Amino acid sequence: MRTLDDLGDLTGKRVFVRVDFNVPLKDGVIGDDARIRAALPTLEELRRRGARLLLAAHLGRPKGRDLDFSLAPIAARLTELLKTDVTLAADLDQVPNDDAVVMLENVRFEPGETKDDEELAKKYASLADAYVNDAFGAAHRAHASTHAIAKLLPSAAGLLLQREVETLTGILADPERPLVAIVGGAKVTDKIGVLEAFLSKADTILIGGAMQFPFFKAQGHQVGASLCEAEGIAPAERVLAEAQDGQVRLPVDIVAGEAFDASTPVTEIDGVDVPEGLMGLDVGPKTAAAYAEVIASAGTIFWNGPMGAFELEPFAAGTRSVAEAVAKASGTTVVGGGDSAAALRQFGLEDQVTHLSTGGGASLELIEGKTLPGVEVLG
């Protein structure tokens, strides 16, 4: 994978930088600017090398040009972080030539962006002398600004993209042992590729979240009204059948409620059978303590997916316990973006892990061994 050093002298050159600024935005207010801050090292390094920046990013999934998805608030926040004016170009025909930092309006306003359109990529390329992809969170998509343009200009990975790829591939290629994978979330089918990858790599796989219930269903347990993905039962059976003895650990107790609501009465179940009328919403204290013990002794830890409905305070304890254990662990700790990253931030622990990925889907696909188009094209 080509890096910034492969681009040579950038003095006075315009560099088209694909960044991942797909941040939570409500009524023009940014809810979390972590992805913007994660891009700063690359942007500052390019500026140090004398480059003028043309930034490209997407926000949400707009249907055509919809100013509810405008990048104006992101440009304003980046102006504060970079301490220099960031000019927002309304469209590709209104890009200033001399401004030090220009941001294109949401690239998904362009109809050919998600189709990896070559003509659109040519328009992008005509505006710059070189291309840098630092948008790891979008690297698993073959879009015009992540893939097609890289074939038209001298191209390289930014510092963030480089670190993401090297870290995530490294924990599978040469991890310190024991390697512990913590896999949670809602659906087994979303994580089956990750589970299968870790069956051949990890010493222990800890399961949590709603995806535990297809495993329990496969074992003949009652799941009550819990979220239990029917399509996940067969893959769960396969994982259990292929696992080494003791390799896959499931919860031993559950915290349940009558509804997905913070005000619902809380019921602690010593066991994993959930009565009718109740839904499992968190792992129980025995599970949390057992998982924390495994995490503490790990040499390498990968975590993706919460242990329960951590956004509801009565059902946040399991995820909090895992997050604290990961933060305290002495081994290498890699958190694979998405809800796990949100949980770390909620508990104030985001700075206490070795690597916090900015890409949920991209990190999972890389762990699964899939080729990321936005990375492959930089090879």
Rounded to 5 degrees, what are φ and ψ at 190? Answer: -70, -25
Contact 278, 267 (CB under 8 A): yes
Distances in Å between the Cα of 263 and the Cα atoms of 90, 307, 316 are: 46, 19, 13
Decide if 193 is catalytic.
no
Decide if 35 is catalytic.
yes
Q: Helices (H), strands (E): how many in the chain?
A: 13, 17
Strand ordering across the sheet containing 87-89: 87-89, 101-104, 52-56, 14-18, 130-133, 155-157
Q: Which amino acid is at 153?
A: L
In the set 13, 49, 187, 201, the catalytic residue is 187
Q: Which DSSP letter does residue 274 get?
A: B
In the set 170, 193, 299, 361, the catalytic residue is 361
For 61-121, the DSSP string reads --SSS-GGG-SHHHHHHHHHHHTS--EEESSTT---SS-SEEEES-GGGSTTGGGT-HHHH
In the set 35, 108, 217, 320, the catalytic residue is 35
Neighbours of 231 (CB within 10 A): 11
In the set 257, 318, 338, 374, the catalytic residue is 338
CA 33, CA 25: separation in Å to the nearest integer?
10
Closest CA relative to residue 178, chosen from 325, 60, 332? 332
Q: Assign residue 227 a region: left if phi > 0, alpha if psi is -120 to 50, beta otherwise? A: beta
Decide if 141 is catalytic.
no
- 80 Cβ contact list (under 8 Å, min separation 6): none
Active site residues: 35, 187, 338, 361
